[in-house]
Amino acid sequence: MSREKKEKKVYQTPAEKRKNIAFNILAVVLCCLFLFPIYWIVVNSFKIDSEIFAKIPTLWPHEFTLKAYGEQFGALGTTLKNSIIIAVGSLVISMVLSVPAAYGLAKYKIKGGKFFILIFLTTQMLPASLVLTPLFLIFSNLELLNTYLAPILSTATISIPFVVLMLRPSFLSISTELVEAAKIDGCGTLRAFFKIVVPISRPAVITAGCFGFVYAWNDLAYSMTFNTAENMRPMTSAIYTFMNQYGTKWNSIMAYGVLLILPCVIIFVTMQKYIVEGLTSGSVKG
């Protein structure tokens, strides 16, 4: 058995090895370039303002301080609660509506199905500012302004087409015979969907859920437009409180930014396995 594995091992010429090394070095350099802004935010959050604006920038704080973080934890409760409610609410609505919709477009012949997919693609090209005014008028007539429902519904409305387009290829790759066999064994349509289809597509569903949560968590335009009351604003809009007539507290902004992106980092680090598998599911149909 080991002999067969050795025979299957691909031999690389010196030129190919040098090429692979060059590509690896290039990948590391690009990774450092893309991650440097995040590193700079984290490092500056531990500095004092005078060191942030020093003539010679420092890659590591000379005077390490946690004062900026201490100030955040005292005023973080309300904004953190608002962000969690909005993100989780938008996630639940988008997943409950998107997963069955994606499966229906993938497995059933629906009249105008291609038109719906085209509409979903079109919505991804529209800027958020384009729908602010219509949504504001609708929510104003429904008396939903300064409530959690306004940003929840608006972010869910935008994330639903994206989730449908992400899940549809994964559902297309599922064998129809597998679902039919489950129905023969006594499963109904809904039970086969929840017992067979969803577990098989779990990586894609988890990936779509992660993106839906992060989209709602990072929302700024809808939250600031539909919630003018200070006690209803999430973390993304509360960052403006550090800018006043006396100046800008840059170290506090950096610390606040670190706390703001921390949930997104945790999600993508812990769910990395499912996200990679979910993004590639349905790409090869066999």
The single residue listed with the structure tokens 């396995």 is 273
Lowest mean pLDDT among 122-126, 167-171, 202-206: 122-126
H-run or E-run covering 248: strand 247-248
pLDDT reported for residue 286: 41
| Average confidence (pLDDT) over 184-188 | 78
pLDDT reported for residue 6: 46
Distance from C-alpha of 129 to C-alpha of 182, rounded to nearest angstrom: 46
pLDDT reported for residue 245: 55
pLDDT reported for residue 86: 92
Distance from C-alpha of 72 to C-alpha of 254, rounded to nearest angstrom: 11
- Structure-derived torsion over alpha carbons of residues 39, 43, 44, 50, reported in degrees to the nearest 10: -140
Q: Please, which pLDDT band fits residue 7 given cuts at 50, 70 and 90? A: very low
Q: Please, which pLDDT band fits residue 85 given cuts at 50, 70 and 90? A: very high
| Both structure tokens of 5 | 């594995």
**Fold entry, domain 78-280:** MetI-like fold (1.10.3720)
pTM for this predicted structure: 0.80
Say yes or no to pLDDT of 88 above 90: yes
Q: Please, which pLDDT band fits residue 282 given cuts at 50, 70 and 90? A: low
Q: Please, which pLDDT band fits residue 27 given cuts at 50, 70 and 90? A: very high
| Both structure tokens of 124 | 């991804």
| Average confidence (pLDDT) over 231-246 | 76
Query: pLDDT, tens digit, for every residue of 111-154?
Result: 877 888 888 888 777 777 788 888 889 998 998 888 899 999 99
pLDDT reported for residue 29: 93
pLDDT reported for residue 281: 63
pLDDT reported for residue 283: 52
**If you ran DSSP here, which 8-state letter would residue 201 be given?**
T
Give the domain ranges of the chain: 14-68, 78-280
Exposed / middle / buried, residue 84 (Cβ in 10 Å: 0-12, 13-18, 19+): middle
| Average confidence (pLDDT) over 265-283 | 75
pLDDT reported for residue 69: 80
Distance from C-alpha of 274 to C-alpha of 206, rounded to nearest angstrom: 7
| Both structure tokens of 17 | 């090895």
* pLDDT > 70 fraction of the chain, expressed in percent and rounded: 91
CA–CA–CA angle 28, 31, 34 (5° rounding)? 155
User: How high is the mean pLDDT of the chain?
Assistant: 82
Lowest mean pLDDT among 8-12, 110-114, 238-242: 8-12
Q: Please, which pLDDT band fits residue 267 given cuts at 50, 70 and 90? A: confident
Say yes or no to pLDDT of 9 above 70: no
| Both structure tokens of 261 | 């992106």
pLDDT reported for residue 75: 65
Q: Please, which pLDDT band fits residue 95 given cuts at 50, 70 and 90? A: very high
CA–CA–CA angle 88, 93, 95 (5° rounding)? 90
SS (H, E, C) the chain: CHHHHHHHCCCCCHHHHHHHHHHHHHHHHHHHHHHHHHHHHHHHCCCCHHHHCCCCCCCCCCCCCCHHHHHHHHCCHHHHHHHHHHHHHHHHHHHHHHHHHHHHHHHCCCCCHHHHHHHHHHHCCCCHHHHHHHHHHHHHHCCCCCCCHHHHHHHHHHHHHHHHHHHHHHHHCCCHHHHHHHHHCCCCHHHHHHHHHHHHCHHHHHHHHHHHHHHHHCCCHHHHHHCCCHHHCCHHHHHHHHEECCEECHHHHHHHHHHHHHHHHHHHHHCHHHHHHHHHCCCCCC
Most confident of 12-16, 149-153, 274-278: 149-153
- The residue type of 274 is Y
**Backbone Cα Rg of the chain:** 24
